[in-house]
Amino acid sequence: MTHSEIDELILRRLSAGDANPILVADFQALSLAPRMSEMLSESVQDRPVFQIDPIGVLTGSRRYVPLPELAATCVDEFLRFGADRGPAFVVGHCSAAALTLRVADLLASSRPVTAVLVQPAWPDDELVADKFAEYLSKFGKATRACPELNGDPEQVVAEMEQIFRDEMNALAASRDLAGSMAAFSDLLVWYRGWLAFLLACRNDTSTDRAAARAAVTVMSDSPSTVTARGLSKDAYQVCELSTPQPAGKVTRELADIVAAYIESH
């Protein structure tokens, strides 16, 4: 896959505007629910909104891309869109927090940038293994263990994919579902891409930040326990969400809260 093909998959412009841009890291779930970026593009109409979706890259020919490379690609393409002046906001929900922070720090070398981490989650061994088991269960009652995560990342993702493929083929054979293999294959590749992204976040253990680092705001309904990996408590601002939010889900209310914060700053 060429660099330009990666760019095309990783970044989209959702709305126009002359004011300070908003860059949102979010991913297409297996549903028709609106994404944070889409809802912000409707709520904050005077600002250009850009959407980062690295899962498109990770469901292509590359099984694994390290987080710093994903972040650098996002920044390069963002600047090529002409969004190279003025303050910017980089928004990330849940597991997008690590990518959001890296993108924001890279952009902060040449402009004021605020990273807005919404209900941040920091993927670790447990989360990756739990997601692997959850996706594996979609193909039946298989109980195969998650591959060892400390090996070569490309090989780890390849092993995950092969386990899914074995169970998918077994399910299709047992239920005479040969005609559904294309749909199963699309699902398998999406699972692989999401696990590859979580693995990249899990592997991104460096706490070094760019010298001209971004300001960081963390939005959470659990302000006393929320953390930002690699940052001391005095390195970020915490904004308490007014009402509890469902874990891992983007709601219209949550998007409106983020939009109001951006508008007020």
Cβ pair 230, 209 in contact under 8 A:
yes
pLDDT in tens, 161-174: 999 999 888 887 77
- Residues 39, 224: Cα–Cα separation, whole Å: 28
pLDDT for residue 3 is more than 60? no
pLDDT in tens, 19-59: 789 999 987 666 667 789 999 998 887 889 999 888 877 88
pTM: 0.89
Provide the pLDDT for residue 171: 82
pLDDT in tens, 122-134: 999 999 999 999 9
Cβ pair 64, 1 in contact under 8 A:
no
- Cα 27 to its chain centre, rounded Å, is 6
pLDDT in tens, 175-212: 776 656 666 788 888 899 999 999 999 999 876 666 66
Contacts of 121 (CB under 8 A, 6+ apart): 94, 95, 97, 127, 248
Cβ pair 219, 119 in contact under 8 A:
yes
What are the φ and ψ backbone dihedral angles of 222, each rounded to 5 degrees? -130, 65
Secondary structure letter of residue 252 according to DSSP: H
Cβ pair 39, 252 in contact under 8 A:
yes
pLDDT in tens, 68-91: 999 998 898 888 887 777 899 999
What are the φ and ψ backbone dihedral angles of 236, each rounded to 5 degrees? -150, 155
Confidence of residue 5 (pLDDT cuts 50, 70, 90): very low
Name which of 104, 125, 122 is nearest 215 in CA terms: 104
Cβ pair 198, 131 in contact under 8 A:
yes
pLDDT for residue 1 is more than 80? no
